[in-house]
Amino acid sequence: MDDADRFKLKEIVDELGKYKGRHTELISVYVPAGYNLNLINTQLETEKGTASNIKSKNTRKNVLDALERILRNFKLYKGTPEKGIAIFCGNIAAQEGVQDIKLWAIEPPFPLKVKVYRCDQEFLLDPIKEMLEATEVYGLIVIERKEATLGLLEGKMIKILKKMTSGVPGKVRAGGQSAARFSRITESLAKEFYKRVAESAKIEFFEMKKLKGILLGGPGPTKEDFLKEGELPTALKEKVIAIKDIGYADEFGLQMLVEASTDVLSQQEITKEKQLLQSFFLMLATKKEKVSYGFEEVKKALEVGAAEKIIISSVLKKEQINELIELAKNTGASLEMVSDETGEGLEFKNLGGVGAFLRFQFQF
């Protein structure tokens, strides 16, 4: 999901969030990736039977009409879309006794993992909101001598990829040569375990194009031992952006690792934004003919096909953002959105909040 798609999706979510039903008549349906759409249709037919018992005549009619519209919409699909689908439908009329049934169908940017049917006074939007935060994915590794878990962070969603155990025995009371021999055996088993985990990490992460970085956690020196002795490929070692002390190496450990790394994760986005704007300002100062700024000038650059990449501040008016997004799509220009939460972002906002790197010079 690029910045333009994210902005469009956020617009829909913001719109849906504004609607409040007078009664429980706003329906949210989430169909997870890979789920049989026929089973959802069967469930919705059952819900029609339940809704027919609603006492209020107006509410009953609104719910039944919304369910019927959802069922008609599902007939447009041969099966569940690859990443699932979310349907929102209901009476959004502000006036009591007036019917205005609207339906929104969203094919999400990431696979849906939840199956939901809810009829309430507001739409259920949390699963989609979480996806809006998933700009990149991060690999997760939590490891101790006895077990390890590999996972993936997409926005706020944590996916477990693999669980592993080592077979390394716990401490035993022994003395003399027996203790030394036992220590050598356990160390050897631990090193072999580190290598197995590294090999699994290579399989899971090495070819992952959207991988932004890897978070590593574990108790005591285990995580450092893993980096030193696990034979993790150099390309993956260079992607380790945080090493955190975590007391667990299971799925709970993955959650703790993400919570402990919030500072690093937020800094990643800030750094990316700062570098982009610094590059723009440098070009503006040294090769002014290769950039343009200001809404009207960038709009013209897009219209004549001169803009290669445009940068838009999130504080720009929505109608202006939408206009630039459509022009960018029509001319093949890439698009990046930035905040005003950094010094560079604030300076860019004061410059007009929109700029472009040019393919060629043009006369405005």
The sign of the torsion formed by the CA atoms of 143, 147, 149, 150 equals positive
CB 354 within 8 A of CB 310: yes
Q: Is 225 exposed, middle or buried (0-12, 13-18, 19+ CB in 10 A)?
A: middle
Question: Tens digit of pLDDT for each residue in 222-238?
Answer: 999 999 988 899 999 99
Strands 101-106 and 116-120: unpaired
3-class SS letters over 60-85 = HHHHHHHHHHHHHHHCCCCCCCCCCE
Residue 283, pLDDT above cutoff 80: yes
CA-nearest of 60, 62, 52, 49 to 101 is: 62
CB atoms within 10 A of CB 217: 27
Q: pLDDT band at 55, cuts 50/70/90?
A: very high
What's the Cα-to-Cα distance from 231 to each of 188, 199, 228, 244, rounded to whole Å? 14, 8, 7, 20
Place of tokens 């650059």: 301
pLDDT of residue 134: 58
Spell out the alpha helix ranges (H) of the chain: 3-18, 37-51, 57-74, 126-132, 176-205, 222-229, 234-237, 251-260, 262-286, 295-303, 318-331, 343-350
pTM: 0.65
Over range 267-277, report the average pLDDT. Answer: 84
What pLDDT does 326 receive?
A: 94
pLDDT given for residue 190 in this prediction: 86
Report the pLDDT value the prediction gives residue 177, as an integer from 0 to 100. Answer: 52
pLDDT for residue 3 is more than 90: no
Compute how many other C-beta atoms are within 10 angstroms of the C-beta atom of residue 214: 21
The span from the CA of 285 to the CA of 131, in Å, is 37
What is the rounded distance in angstroms from the CA atom of residue 231 to the CA atom of residue 286?
Answer: 45
The pLDDT confidence band at residue 180, using thresholds 50, 70 and 90, is: low
* Structural domains present in the chain: 3-130 (3.30.960.10), 137-260 (3.30.420.60), 273-358 (3.30.1330.30)
The pLDDT, as a whole number, for residue 355 is 97
Amino acid 110: pLDDT: 87
Confidence (pLDDT) at 167: 77
Residue 104: beta bridge partners?
A: 88
Distance (Å, whole) CA 320 – CA 156: 30
Average pLDDT of the chain to the nearest whole number? 90
pLDDT level of residue 135 (50, 70, 90 thresholds): low
Residue 122 backbone dihedrals phi, psi, to 5 degrees: -145, 160
Residue 91 · residue 62 · CB < 8 Å: yes
Reported confidence tier of residue 199, pLDDT bands at 50, 70, 90: very high
Any long-range contacts for 255-261 (C-beta under 8 Å, 24+ apart)?
A: 255/158, 256/142, 256/217, 257/140, 257/142, 257/215, 257/216, 257/217, 258/140, 258/153, 258/158, 258/215, 260/217, 261/215
Instruction: Provide the sign of the torsion angle of the four alpha carbons 348, 308, 1, 217, taken in this order.
Output: negative
Average pLDDT over residues 38-65: 94
pLDDT of residue 154: 79
| Residue type, position 103, single letter | L
| % of residues, the chain, pLDDT over 70 | 95
pLDDT at 303: 95
Q: In this structure, are residues 127 and 30 in contact, taking their beta carbons and an 8 Å threshold?
A: yes
Residues 328, 306 contacting (CB under 8 angstroms): no
DSSP string, 212-241: EEEEEEESTTHHHHHHHHS---HHHHTTEE
Per-residue pLDDT of 147-161, as tens digits, reads 999 999 876 678 899
The pLDDT tens digits of the residues spanning 315-361 come to: 999 999 999 999 999 999 999 999 887 889 999 999 999 999 999 99
Give the SS3 label for residue 272: helix
